[in-house]
Homo-oligomer: A and B are copies of this chain.
C-alpha cells in the first residue's frame, strides 16, 4: 500500500498534458547519423510515451495536447486512438505550426544523442482556453510534463491545468523532463519548474534536473533536502533518479525507498524514463507498495531499452510480469 488516495469515482485513470511529436529512429545503428540512410517514424514525446505505456497496461487514458494540421499530426492522433487513448482534448493547430521531430542517433548502446526540430512546434501552441475543465475533472491522475512549460501559451495551459486538477481532486504527477532547447535560460526554467512543482503530489526527476531547479538556493545535491522542500508544499512522493545507479523515492512520512533494477540487452537508452514512469504509476494506482511499484517501472524500462522504439515498445502488464520472472530465473542477463 502507498499513501496516495485516488478518487475512484472518476471515469478516467490517467491524463497527460504536453508534447506530442515524432521520433525518426535510425534504422542503421551503431554508427554516426551521417551514415544512417533510413529512418523509421514513431510517435514520441515523453508524456505521449507515458500515456501509451499506461494504455498498454490497461489504464483508461487520455491526452491534452496540440498537433500540427499535417500528415505528421494526423499520424499521431491515429496512433493514439489505435492504442485506445482518448483524444477528445487533442486540438489541431490552425496557424501553420509544425510537428516536433527527434532524429535519434545511436552510435552505441551507451552513446546516443538526439537531433531536435522544435521550431514553431505545434505542441507548444496549446492555449489555456483550449484546456477543457470538465476533461481534467474526470481523471484520477493528471501528469504534466516539464517541457510543456518551455513556452507560451503552452506554459499557461499547464498552469491552468494544474489549477483545474487541484480543484477537482486529481493526483498530480510532475515529470520534470528538462530539455534545454526551447528554453531561454536555466533561470527561466528554474522559476517555472518550481512554481509548478509546488502544486504537485508526485515529482519525478533526475538529480541533475533537481539541481537545475535549486539554482537560486544555496545547497544542495542532497536528495533528502531536495525532497523535504517539496513536502512543505503538496508533494507526497519525490522520486530522484540516478541513472544506472537506480532511483530513490522519498515519501512525506520520512521514509525512502530504493527500486530494484533489471538486466537488459540494451540497444539504446531513450525511453527508459518514460517506461519507468508508466510502470511506477501503474503500480501506485494498483495500491502497491512504493518499492514494488518502482520494481515494476524498472522492468518496464529494461524492456524498452532493449527495443528499437520508445512508444511502440511500451509493454503490457503481462509482458512486464513475464520479464521480471525471466530475470529472476536468470533467463535475461545484461549485454
Contacts and interface: CB of A to CB of B under 8 A. Distances in A.
A72 B191 CA distance: 31
Given A119-B98, A120-B119, A216-B163, A71 B191 contact: no
B195 A33 contact: no
B71 A33 contact: yes
A219 interface: no
A184 interface: yes
A34 B163 contact: no
B159 A71 contact: no
Nearest to A189: B156
Interface string A281-294: 00000000000000
A220 interface: no
Contact of A195 (B41, B101, B195): B195
A1 interface: no
A233 B142 CA distance: 23
How many monomers of this chain does the complex have? 4
A41 to B, nearest CB: 6
B71 A105 contact: yes
B74 A34 contact: yes
A224 interface: no
Contact of A71 (B34, B72, B98, B153): B34
Interface string A206-239: 0000000000100000000000000000000000
Nearest to A71: B33
Given A33-B71, A117-B101, A156 B191 contact: yes
Nearest to A164: B216
A187 B156 contact: yes
A115 interface: yes
Contact of A216 (B40, B128, B195): B128
Interface in A175-201: 184-185, 187-188, 190-192, 194-195
A195 B115 CA distance: 34
A39 B22 CA distance: 13
Interface in A238-266: none
A196 B47 CA distance: 27
Interface in A86-143: 98, 101, 103, 105, 115, 117, 119-120, 127-129, 133
A6 interface: no
A304 interface: no
B163 A128 contact: no
A277 interface: no
A11 interface: no
B70 A128 contact: no
6 closest A-B pairs by beta carbon, nearest first, are: A119-B119, A33-B71, A156-B191, A128-B187, A34-B75, A119-B120
15 contacts: A24-B24, A34-B71, A71-B103, A98-B117, A101-B117, A119-B120, A127-B187, A128-B187, A128-B190, A128-B216, A153-B184, A153-B188, A156-B188, A159-B195, A160-B187
Interface of A: 24, 27, 32-34, 36-41, 70-72, 74-75, 78, 98, 101, 103, 105, 115, 117, 119-120, 127-129, 133, 152-153, 156, 159-160, 163, 184-185, 187-188, 190-192, 194-195, 216
